[in-house]
Amino acid sequence: MNTPITDPQSIRILPEYTHKVVTVDFTTNEDYDLWFATVASKHATFGLKNTRETGTGIANRPVVSHYFVCDHAGLPRKNETSTPENKRRKTLKPSIKVNCLAKFVKHVYENVAVKMVYHWIHNNYDSCQMEDIVSSRLPLELRNWIIDCVDRHMNLKSIKSLLRLNIDQLDELDGNIGGGRFPPSLIIKQQDVVNIVNDKLNKMSRKHAIDRLSVKKWLDDLQSKNHHTFLFEQENGSFVVAWYSKWQKELLEGALDWCIDSTHQTCKSMTNPDHYCYLYTIVVRSPFTNKGVPVAFMLSSNEIIPLLVKWLQNIKDSNNLNVARIMIDCSTAEIGAIRQVFGGVDILLCHWHIKRAWDVNVKKHIKGGDKYETKALQDGARICIDGMMEATSLNQFDDLWTSFEATYQDDFTAFYTYFRDLWYNRKELWSKAYRQDAPFHTNNLIESYHNQLKTHYLGRKSQNRMDRTIYLLSQVMYADYRLEAAQVFYKVKPFPLSKVEKLARNRAEEVDENAAYSMIVKINEEISWKLYSCKSFTNNEVVYHVVISPNGYILSCSCPVISGICKHMFLVSKIKVIPYYANRSTPAAPLPVVAPDLASPTSPLVSLSTEPTPTNNTISNTEFHDKVAVLGRNMLRSIGDAERRVVGDDLLMDDLCDKIKSSLNLIDTVGDRRLYSSRQL
């Protein structure tokens, strides 16, 4: 729009015609377009109803005729009724159809001339009244304004900010709406924006009018772009639609820990629009962002073991997997499918979901004489079963189970039977005593992904077709995850650390640099993976091993810390100038697939010599510049810290200045061929 959308202007202008039917001749189509924008569109909202071609070669006959009618033309549907009483929300609004007879015909001739026959009088409603303007369809000019905003990737929140009137405009507006002049933003409703966004999404996601055929076209399109796709259908309507990209495949193969979960009622089924389908996702921790990232998607008609087996077996057969643990909620179907496909993989049940299920049964079965006694008994039951979950050894778990039996077997038989039959027999799936090597105990990675999915992509709506869900997952959300990884990779965004990891990094920073150099030794192994030994921070006789991946970043450590980046990894990163995450200073190679079998701290590797072994110190120019940049930042930070410590003490300030000068003199001698031979550089 030429004028701001919040400025008062004439939305409706009454034509100054004297006859009911007006005929206007235009020499070109551009002249007609100008008339349509300044006269017809300003009078009412017209829509194209029909087009008729008469052919060429007939004198004084138009080549094509376009028939436009007012949006209030016609009568309401006869079968239209009010909202059923059993519905909570009003879904049917009064029709705007009032049998308006206003219309016009556009005749286009062979010499590009245009004749317009305009029946401009509207009956049964006043097109210039505010209530009738609001009830009409959005004027073409405003609709085009919204389309332009959507094409510029503006969301509803940003569009609403453009429509918002300031206080001065509101003061001017009060009691001053008349003659059809008012801010156009007043008549733009949220649903108008939603409708245009949905229309654009439909155009981008629908490859066919029939959802099932559109889904197949999407799979063909993804496969042509190096995605792995899988389609399984049965005559009874059951189906599996799955896919993942080449980028996701590398993350999938390199991950030791998976999280698998499903979202219910994600979208309509492609075989029966009256049914919903399930979205299953595998989420792993990204080495680029330290966050959860989806690496495989599956849309299924049912949440049953056979369909899950089809999907997981296809993933297993198509990849070189290294998965060791899979975190799920309490789904028996997922447990059965994982055991059938990945027999040797540890299954971990999410502690949050387990505690939620326990709490329901504690409230159901544990009752006392009054509410105070009931609360005390229920709190005691929670402490008892939570203790079994948090047990650190098998003996501790057995002792807690014995105490649980003695307390609840006779007095609360129903609760004891529930816990024994459903949970005690599967204790290795949820007790920390049986899963001491588990890096996490909740599926927060995938729950966070689900929240992002429903909030920012699916819009918490379950009425979408499957093809739109595939479009949003494979084209929009997937691109966002890759973009974030690229931003961290190229150091545009910092690598996010958890609170525990930040504490570990601070511990590593506190170690004296000279002592740190003596703690770290490179081990010369005949494998592509570099290996460093790092002494314990508290016991010099204990040595851990830090693995450097072929890609050039720190991968893991053999210390007891089983989740995230430990202080030994931070120390090696600081001293050896090796990144602890994948970034642009690492080779652009696929993620590691097979990890070396490292010994524990009690293995013979601990007694290896602490003398550094000869290694090839050749580095690329990129690696050299990155190392110099890191060391330069560390030096500036050290100088700044020292300056704050010595300020006010003349002797210490002079000593610091002398040491900085000595360091600068040493740096100046590097590369001076009068002092070193070329082989020593």
**Choice among 56-70, 186-200, 297-311, 621-635 with the minimum mean pLDDT:** 621-635
The pLDDT score that the predictor gives to residue 607 is 31
What does the DSSP assignment read for 37-59?
IIIIHHH--EEEEEEEE--SS-T
Cβ proximity of 119 and 24 under 8 Å = no
Mean pLDDT of 403-432: 91
- Identify the band that residue 114 occupies on the pLDDT scale cut at 50, 70 and 90: very high
Cβ proximity of 17 and 120 under 8 Å = yes
> Coil, strand or helix: which one is 182?
strand
**Choice among 91-100, 358-367, 382-391 with the minimum mean pLDDT:** 91-100
| CA-to-CA separations, 642 to 369, 631, 655, in angstroms, rounded | 67, 16, 11
Provide the terminal-to-terminal Cα distance of the chain, rounded to the nearest Å: 67
Mean pLDDT of 629-651: 75
Q: Which residues pair with 196 in a beta bridge?
A: none
Residue 210 identity = I
How far apart are alpha carbons 562 and 500 in whole angstroms?
12
**Per-residue pLDDT at 326 exceeds 90:** yes
Cβ proximity of 192 and 201 under 8 Å = no
Q: How deeply is 264 buried, as exposed, middle or buried, from its count of CB atoms within 10 A (0-12, 13-18, 19+)? A: exposed
User: What does the block give as tokens for 137?
Assistant: 């369809």
Of 410, 414, 430, give the one whose Cα is nearest residue 327.
430
How far apart are alpha carbons 140 and 376 in whole angstroms?
67
The pLDDT score that the predictor gives to residue 395 is 93
**Choice among 24-33, 168-177, 302-311, 509-518 with the minimum mean pLDDT:** 168-177
The pLDDT score that the predictor gives to residue 587 is 38
The model carries a pTM of 0.70
User: What does the block give as tokens for 387?
Assistant: 């203790």
CB contact burial 76-111 (16+ within 10 A = b; e otherwise)? eeeeeeeeeeeeeeeeeeeebbbebebbbbbbbeee
The pLDDT score that the predictor gives to residue 679 is 33
Backbone phi and psi for residue 416, each to the nearest 5 degrees, phi listed first: -60, -45
How far apart are alpha carbons 533 and 601 in whole angstroms?
10
Phi-psi region of 400 (alpha: psi -120 to 50; beta: other; left: phi over 0): alpha
Indicate the fold that domain 211-350+443-477 takes in CATH: Nucleotidyltransferase; domain 5 (3.30.420)
The pLDDT score that the predictor gives to residue 258 is 93
- Identify the band that residue 377 occupies on the pLDDT scale cut at 50, 70 and 90: very high
The per-residue pLDDT of the chain, averaged, comes to: 82
The pLDDT score that the predictor gives to residue 676 is 36
For residue 403, what is the enclosing H or E element?
Answer: helix 394-408
Phi-psi region of 156 (alpha: psi -120 to 50; beta: other; left: phi over 0): alpha
- Identify the band that residue 162 occupies on the pLDDT scale cut at 50, 70 and 90: confident
How far apart are alpha carbons 73 and 87 in whole angstroms?
30
**Per-residue pLDDT at 675 exceeds 60:** no
How far apart are alpha carbons 433 and 219 in whole angstroms?
44
Q: Which of 20-24, 586-590, 609-613 is the most confident on average? A: 20-24
For residue 263, what is the enclosing H or E element?
Answer: strand 257-268
Residue 242 identity = A
* Rounded CA Rg of the chain: 35
Mean pLDDT of 361-367: 92
The pLDDT score that the predictor gives to residue 610 is 32
**Choice among 329-338, 396-405, 433-442 with the minimum mean pLDDT:** 433-442
How far apart are alpha carbons 123 and 73 in whole angstroms?
10
Q: How deeply is 22 buried, as exposed, middle or buried, from its count of CB atoms within 10 A (0-12, 13-18, 19+)? A: middle
User: What does the block give as tokens for 258?
Assistant: 């998976």
The tally of CA atoms less than 13 A away on the side-chain side of residue 295 is 30
**Per-residue pLDDT at 591 exceeds 50:** no
The pLDDT score that the predictor gives to residue 391 is 92
How far apart are alpha carbons 195 and 628 in whole angstroms?
54
CA 413 to chain CA mean position, Å:
45
Higher pLDDT, residue 654 or 351: 351
Higher pLDDT, residue 591 or 96: 96
How far apart are alpha carbons 580 and 287 in whole angstroms?
9
The pLDDT score that the predictor gives to residue 619 is 46
User: What does the block give as tokens for 609?
Assistant: 């010599």
The pLDDT score that the predictor gives to residue 630 is 63
Mean pLDDT of 76-92: 59
Higher pLDDT, residue 92 or 641: 641
- Identify the band that residue 556 occupies on the pLDDT scale cut at 50, 70 and 90: confident
**Per-residue pLDDT at 2 exceeds 80:** no
- Identify the band that residue 550 occupies on the pLDDT scale cut at 50, 70 and 90: confident
- Identify the band that residue 176 occupies on the pLDDT scale cut at 50, 70 and 90: low
Of 434, 369, 437, 431, give the one whose Cα is nearest residue 404.
431
> Coil, strand or helix: which one is 271?
coil
**Per-residue pLDDT at 508 exceeds 50:** yes
Percentage of the chain beyond pLDDT 70 is 83
Of 271, 226, 282, 278, give the one whose Cα is nearest residue 469.
278
Cβ proximity of 44 and 136 under 8 Å = yes
Strand 325-328 to 346-349 pairing: parallel
Placement of tokens 């966002």 in the chain: 480
- Identify the band that residue 527 occupies on the pLDDT scale cut at 50, 70 and 90: low
What does the DSSP assignment read for 489-512?
HTTSSPPP--HHHHHHHHHHHHS-
User: What does the block give as tokens for 204?
Assistant: 């981008």
| CA-to-CA separations, 465 to 193, 264, 267, 470, in angstroms, rounded | 20, 14, 6, 9
Which pLDDT tens digit goes with each residue over 604-638? 333 333 333 333 334 455 556 556 766 776 777 77
Q: Return the DSSP state at 593.
A: -
Q: Where are the domains of the chain?
A: 9-78+89-194, 211-350+443-477, 352-364+374-429, 499-615, 633-680
